[in-house]
């Protein structure tokens, strides 16, 4: 009987696995179609300074599927990463973002903003990534110093010297680099010293319980101190409450992103909010 049960269990799991494989394949096929058919869009989430005025935005990808509805990037980015789809998607994102940055620089209420774009590990590892980005920038002439690429710690795991070389080439284009989800990967002091970063982003998983979990509080304080000692800008993501903001501010964080200031929104909504909120005095 135990054997039968085992067999049934096996059958059950293999059916479930089959389904998972199929839906994954279906999602991948749909994603392939999405790229050319206006189902992908960038939303923009504001980043604010200490006076809570907008100083920048993070571009976040959205997939509006005709029948599935909105699919989360947490769902489709990993699938895209496993195929070469992430390269087409990533290029599309960079192209739209640079076009946007160029446009904003002609708009008085927007021209002070920086724009952060997420780059996936596979995209970053592409041999011609720097050339490709340089071609995009040439197509959309803009103040490249306002462009920020968000990288992840997983990119640094491989050959550090090679990664540093690529990061230097990217910086030579005029843009700046940020380390996303900082503290969730294999952060080490030795790589922080080597990488040409301008900013680190405190992951939202540490910010969430900052006021109730002593370990997270220490983690965040340590990251802020680290950033200060390495002369890096530090931004906290996932700030949802006034209490979290006060904690972060009290410990020397100076840039924030999170629902407290605004959720990621479509372009027109983002622009009208920026018009309403105005330009920080320090940036005029
Ligand atoms: P991420 O880069 O760490 O982006 C931050 C995520 O936190 C976003 O989720 C954002 O909507 C969410 N978030 C912001 N503020 C809050 C808050 O106060 N509370 C909570 N609970 N969440 C907040 P989203 O847009 O679902 O994106 C998820 C991840 O997907 C991103 O994490 C990023 O890793 C990836 N992703 C998004 N767009 C792109 C893209 O264009 N290219 C690549 N390669 N990855 C992307
Ligand atoms: Mg990000
Ligand atoms: Mg992040
Ligand atoms: Mg994150």
Cα of 60 from ligand 1 centre, angstroms: 6
pLDDT lower than 50: segments of the chain: 1-3
| Residue 39 contacts residue 66 (beta carbons within 8 Å) | yes
How far is it, in rounded angstroms, from Cα 244 to Cα 201? 15
Q: How many CA atoms lie within 13 A of 103 on its CB side?
A: 9
> 219-229, pLDDT tens digit by residue?
999 999 999 99
How far is it, in rounded angstroms, from Cα 111 to Cα 123? 28
Residue 279: the pLDDT is: 65
Dig out the tokens for 28 from the structure: 């991948």
Cβ-proximal residues to 162 (8 Å cutoff; 6+ apart), any chain: none
Residue 211: the pLDDT is: 94
pTM over 0.95: no
Residue 2: the pLDDT is: 47
ipTM of this predicted complex? 0.98
Of all protein residues, the one whose alpha carbon is nearest to atom 2 of ligand 1 is 118
Q: Which residues line ligand 1 (CB under 6 A)?
A: 45, 60-61, 72-74, 77, 90, 93, 118-120, 150, 180-181, 204, 237-240, 258-259, 264
Atom of ligand 1 nearest to the CA of 42: 41
Q: Collect residues with CB below 5 Å from ion ligand 3.
A: 180-181, 237
């Amino acid at each position: 009987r135990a054997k039968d049960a085992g067999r049934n269990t096996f059958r059950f799991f293999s059916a479930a696995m089959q389904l998972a494989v199929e839906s994954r394949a279906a999602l991948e096929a749909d994603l392939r179609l999405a790229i050319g058919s206006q189902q992908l869009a960038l939303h923009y989430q504001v980043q604010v300074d200490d006076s809570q005025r907008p100083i920048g935005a993070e571009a976040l990808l959205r997939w509006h599927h005709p029948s599935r509805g909105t699919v989360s990037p947490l769902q489709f980015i990993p699938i895209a990463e496993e195929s070469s789809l992430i390269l087409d998607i990533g290029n599309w994102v960079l192209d739209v973002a640079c076009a946007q940055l160029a446009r904003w620089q002609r708009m008085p209420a927007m021209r002070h903003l920086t724009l952060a774009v997420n780059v996936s590990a596979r995209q970053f590892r592409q041999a011609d990534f720097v050339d490709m980005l340089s071609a995009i920038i040439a197509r959309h002439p803009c103040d490249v110093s306002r462009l920020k690429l968000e990288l992840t710690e997983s990119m640094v795991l491989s050959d550090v010297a090679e990664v540093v070389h690529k990061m230097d080439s990217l910086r030579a284009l005029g843009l700046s680099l940020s380390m996303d989800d900082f503290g969730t990967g294999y952060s080490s002091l030795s790589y922080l010293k080597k990488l040409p970063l301008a900013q680190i982003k405190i992951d939202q998983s540490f910010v969430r319980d900052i006021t109730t979990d002593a370990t997270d509080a220490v983690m965040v304080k340590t990251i802020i101190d680290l950033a200060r000692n390495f002369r890096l800008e530090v931004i906290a993501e996932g700030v949802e409450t006034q209490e979290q903001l006060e904690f972060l501010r009290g410990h020397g964080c100076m840039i924030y992103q999170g629902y407290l200031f605004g959720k990621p929104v479509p372009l027109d909504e983002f622009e009208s909010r920026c018009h309403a909120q105005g330009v920080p005095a320090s940036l005029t």
